[in-house]
Chain A
């Protein structure tokens, strides 16, 4: 039989698409269902936030940091605060640090819930998404009571947090955690042993530990490859050394080590760990002020510094260059999603188009973080 004439299709998984997490575009060269390559094209959400910092000054930049990653806004706030504090040598009061940790860990749970729910929806099950959003709504209500906003919080300031915990909030938060822990078990039971999920997730997008480190993957993506690395434990900041918690890593239980199932399982377990930290923090929170005294026209000394913190998507690196004036000279955020996009082109060879969606969802890529 003479060879058939076959052609590769070039498809465009365009910026408007129900399942890419944010405005992303992939140019997919596919041979039928199997892809040869998926070339990501980012930049649809570029708002030049880093350049805006040079215009609005140190205090004024805090709301902009929310928009760097709007699902994990507490962490971006904390990152900016920590960068300025490290450069200027400001110490955050103890209660302020506790408030920061509490807000951040609630945000981590909310972010992971959204990630897991959206991943389930991309795979086809619509129900876990609504259940995750239901839980997330309760966290949003709690945080709304704390700082007034549900998504872009602007809660932290340079030197601490803006407002103290409202009266009665502690009890509500503890009640929520009592409600949340069994729900997490239920979630796990619904999804993690479902044969169809396992078939869709296991052995898809396997990343070896060496590759993960070389491509600078961070956060749950890195831990799923078996590397036990968490900034909260390994380069401790804030008051994390005072809490006892574990760092879950992937173990290749359902497929190969470092596949999408591992990344999913690590996120579920991290939510349980966050809940542990929250309980300890809410029990142990000391009294005192929550905001250090920082000048209105804040002028850190000239120099540069880099801080790293463990955001919902991994190690977020904030690099700040100051020239001694009231406006930063250069701000740069290196986010986990940026690095994760870099590895997709290499991983996509040989996957099917359905797997590309699973891969993006399991890497927990958020578009504003990539483009800033």
Chain B
């Protein structure tokens, strides 16, 4: 982003006497608005529509299909409905904290978009601590959720809030430790740096670079799901136990803020995995045209992230939820030791092969393709067998 702006200033697009700092600030401001309002928030809304359609298909039903083509405007309709609702603030609740909690959670969702690497030059701020910044600000959710749980003056909300706080804080550790192998392999924390260290072909992705990063990728994905309160870890909003957990007392747009943050977090989870392990926006260099390359790269990035978003929805529709003590056991007794092993293993790997070992990349890619083939074959088998031949038309 900075280079683009400097390029524009140097080419005199803003006149001769323009102050570069002012121009840079204004451009960043406008681009932030574009990213947040034009990409982040609509995405959070559209994901709600997508999730309902994906769920519906998995549950052998249709999902919203009336409001707009294929029900695409359902999220707008939901948003309008929630905005028009009465703003109920419970009498005995702590009103300032109650009101502030959704905003904090929204903040935790909004801030990571500043380092989202859409393409080689489309990134709001290429911080040299990009990935560290991302994991840090997503942890702000804890504060918001705890505030919501406490300020609601409701014991069930409190339980939901405390569960969520424990869950997010616990799963920060495997998540952070799983970022470590990638950092070891590239030596940098910046998002663009990590992406540039990978290639566009799957065997050059960090996912297949060595077995430790493969396991680290899985652990990172699961921990990120846990941090985002997604099933199988959605105890804080366990619908069948706590109605809506920490968000029980909220109504209208405040309620939607929590859920927009959750849906938008799906993109952030996908973006972290895509950046660190799936090669980000890397695309083969097919044209010299900068704009075209940028568009292709942005498309690649989005495809990878949206695929991971789809997998998150798929998992949510399929798996039941774990209990709180099983969740803690999983984190502390299984994930943390495995993450440590990954870290040390990658360190040893990097010590032995400082420039990377592409043979291992090919081997692991071959293994992944074999697994994918087995999986596809099973899916086709079940699809063929599951066609229902019986339709009843009762005479009544």
A adjacent to B, CB under 8 Å: yes
- A residues neighboring B (CB under 8 Å): 9, 11, 17-19, 33, 120-127, 129-131, 134, 138, 141-142, 144-145, 148, 166, 172, 175-176, 178-179, 182, 186, 194, 196-197, 199-200, 352-355, 357
User: With a CB–CB cut-off of 8 A, which chain A residues contact B55?
Assistant: 126
Q: A18-B240, A19-B240, A354-B235 are in contact. Are A134 and B323 (CB under 8 A)?
A: no
Residues B156 and A11 in contact, CB atoms below 8 Å apart: yes
List 20 additional A-B contacts (Cβ < 8 Å) besides A141-B394, A144-B396: A9-B155, A17-B243, A18-B239, A33-B324, A122-B240, A124-B319, A130-B61, A134-B60, A145-B394, A145-B395, A175-B390, A176-B392, A186-B386, A194-B319, A194-B320, A196-B322, A352-B323, A354-B235, A354-B238, A355-B323
Q: Which residue of A lies closest to B234 (CB)?
A: A124
A residues in contact with B386, CB < 8 Å? 186
Q: What are 19 A-B contacts with C-beta separation under 8 Å?
A: A33-B325, A124-B231, A124-B319, A126-B55, A126-B59, A127-B318, A131-B59, A138-B390, A138-B392, A141-B392, A148-B396, A176-B390, A176-B392, A179-B388, A182-B385, A200-B322, A200-B323, A355-B323, A357-B241
Also in contact, A354 and B320, with CB within 8 A (given A124-B232, A127-B59, A131-B60): no
Cα A142 to Cα B393 in complex, Å, equals 9
**Bound state CA distance, A120 and B318, in angstroms?**
11
Q: How far is the CA of A354 from the CA of B240 in the complex (A)?
A: 9
Q: Is B321 an interface residue (CB 8 A)?
A: yes
Total A-B residue pairs with C-beta atoms closer than 8 Å? 98
- B positions within 8 Å CB-CB of A: 55, 58-61, 155-156, 159, 163, 231-232, 234-235, 238-241, 243, 317-326, 385-386, 388-390, 392, 394-396
The residues of A that contact B231 with a CB separation of less than 8 Å are 124
Q: Would you give the shortest CB distance from B326 to chain A, in whole angstroms?
A: 6
Q: CA separation between A358 and B395, bound complex, in Å? A: 39
Contact A123 B241 (CB under 8 A): no
Contacts of A131 in B (CB 8 A): 59-60
Q: Is the CB of B60 within 8 A of A357?
A: no
Nearest-neighbour CB distance to chain B for A58, whole angstroms, equals: 28
Check if A130 sits within 8 Å of B59, measured CB to CB.
Answer: yes
CB distance from A141 to the nearest CB of B (A): 5
Q: Residues of B contacting A124 with CB < 8 Å?
A: 231-232, 234, 238, 240, 319-321
Lowest 9 A-B CB distances belong to which pairs? A124-B321, A19-B240, A130-B59, A124-B320, A125-B320, A123-B320, A122-B240, A179-B390, A141-B392
The residue in chain B whose Cβ has the minimal distance to the Cβ of A178 is B390
Residue of A nearest to B56 (CB): A130
> Once bound together, how far apart are the Cα atoms of A120 and B319, in whole Å?
10
Q: Determine the chain A residues whose CB is within 8 A of the CB of B239 once the complex forms.
A: 18-19
Please give me the residue from chain B that is nearest to A138 by CB atom: B392
CB pair A353–B59 under 8 Å, yes or no, is no
Cα of A352 to Cα of B324 in the assembled complex, Å? 9
| B159 & A197 in contact (Cβ 8 Å cutoff) | no
A123→B234 CA distance, assembly (Å): 11
Closest B residue to A131 by CB, please name it: B60
State how many angstroms separate the Cβ of A211 from the closest Cβ of chain B.
Answer: 24
B59 — which chain A residues lie within 8 A by C-beta? Answer: 126-127, 129-131
> Measured between alpha carbons, how far is A126 from B57 in the docked complex, in Å?
12
B155, B156, B323: residue with the most chain A Cβ atoms closer than 10 Å = B323
- In the assembled complex, how far is the CB of residue B389 from the closest CB belonging to chain A, in whole angstroms? 7
Closest to A182 in B: B385
Q: Shortest Cβ distance from A148 into chain B, in angstroms?
A: 7
Interface contact A125-B243, CB-CB below 8 Å: no
**Among B60, B159, B232, B326, which residue has its beta carbon within 8 angstroms of that of A130?**
B60
Residues of A within 8 A of B60 (CB): 130-131, 134
Q: Which of B238, B241, B320, B396 has the most CB of A within 10 A?
A: B320
A179 and B390 alpha carbons, distance in the complex (Å): 7
In the complex, the answer to whether B232 meets A196 with C-beta atoms within 8 Å is yes
**Complex Cα spacing A179 to B385, Å:** 11
Chain B residue nearest to A142 in the complex (CB): B392
Given A123-B321, A131-B60, A354-B235, A19 and B392 contact (CB-CB distance below 8 Å): no
Closest B residue to A361 by CB, please name it.
B240
- What CA separation (Å) do A194 and B232 show in the bound complex? 12
B241 touching A127, Cβ below 8 Å: no
B58 to chain A, nearest CB (A): 6
Judge whether A145 and B243 touch: CB under 8 Å. no
Closest Cβ neighbor of A353 among chain B residues: B241
Tell me which residues across on chain A come within 8 A of B243, comparing CB atoms: 17-18
Could you tell me if A11 and B155 are in contact, using CB atoms closer than 8 angstroms? yes
Given the complex, which residues of A lie within 8 Å of B232, measured CB to CB? Answer: 124, 196
B389 touching A179, Cβ below 8 Å: yes
Closest to A189 in B: B382
Nearest neighbor of A204 in chain B, beta-carbon distance:
B323
Q: In the bound complex, what is the Cα–Cα distance between A130 and B60 (angstroms)? A: 7
**Contact A354:B241 (CB < 8 A) given known A123-B320, A130-B59, A144-B396:** yes
Are A199 and B326 interface neighbours, CB within 8 A?
yes
Query: Which residue from chain A places its CB closest to the CB of B231 in the assembled complex?
Result: A124
Q: In whole angstroms, how far apart are the Cα atoms of A120 and B240 in the complex?
A: 10
Interface contact A357-B390, CB-CB below 8 Å: no
Do A121 and B240 have beta carbons less than 8 Å apart?
Answer: yes
- Residues on A with C-beta less than 8 A from B395 are 145, 166
Collect the chain A residues with CB atoms within 8 Å of residue B156's CB.
11
Q: A144 vs B235: C-alpha distance in the bound complex, in angstroms?
A: 39
Q: Which of A120, A144, A175, A176 is close to B320, meaning CB atoms less than 8 Å apart?
A: A120
Q: How far is the CA of A73 from the CA of B396 in the complex (A)?
A: 20
A199/B155 in contact, CB under 8 A: no
Report B-chain residues with C-beta under 8 Å of the C-beta of A141: 392, 394
What B residues does A120 contact at CB under 8 A?
A: 320
Q: Is the CB of B322 within 8 A of A199?
A: yes
Candidates B159, B318, B320, B326; contact of A353 at CB < 8 Å: B159
B155 surroundings in chain A (CB, below 8 A):
9, 11
Q: Once the chains are docked, how many angstroms separate the CA of A18 from the CA of B326?
A: 23
CA–CA, A284 and B165, complex, Å: 62
Least Cβ distance of B249 to chain A in Å?
14
> Are the C-beta atoms of B392 and A125 separated by less than 8 Å?
no
Q: Which residues of B contact A17 (CB under 8 A)?
A: 243
The interface residues of chain B lying within 8 Å CB-to-CB of A145 are 394-396
> For B326, what are the chain A residues with a Cβ–Cβ distance below 8 Å?
199-200
- Nearest CB of chain A from residue B180's CB, rounded to whole Å: 27
Partner among A9, A144, A148, A357 whose Cβ is within 8 Å of the Cβ of B240: A357
Q: How far is the CA of A121 from the CA of B238 in the complex (A)?
A: 11
Residue of B nearest to A28 (CB): B155
Q: Which residues of A contact B235 (CB under 8 A)?
A: 354
Instruction: State how many angstroms separate the Cβ of B48 from the closest Cβ of chain A.
Output: 15
Which residue from chain A places its CB closest to the CB of B321 in the assembled complex? A124
Contact A196-B241, Cβ < 8 Å, known A9-B155, A166-B395, A179-B390: no
Q: How far is the CA of A200 from the CA of B240 in the complex (A)?
A: 14
Centre residue among B55, B163, B321 by max chain A CB count within 10 A: B321
Which chain B residue lies CB-closest to A130?
B59
Is B390 in contact with A354, judged by CB distance below 8 angstroms? no
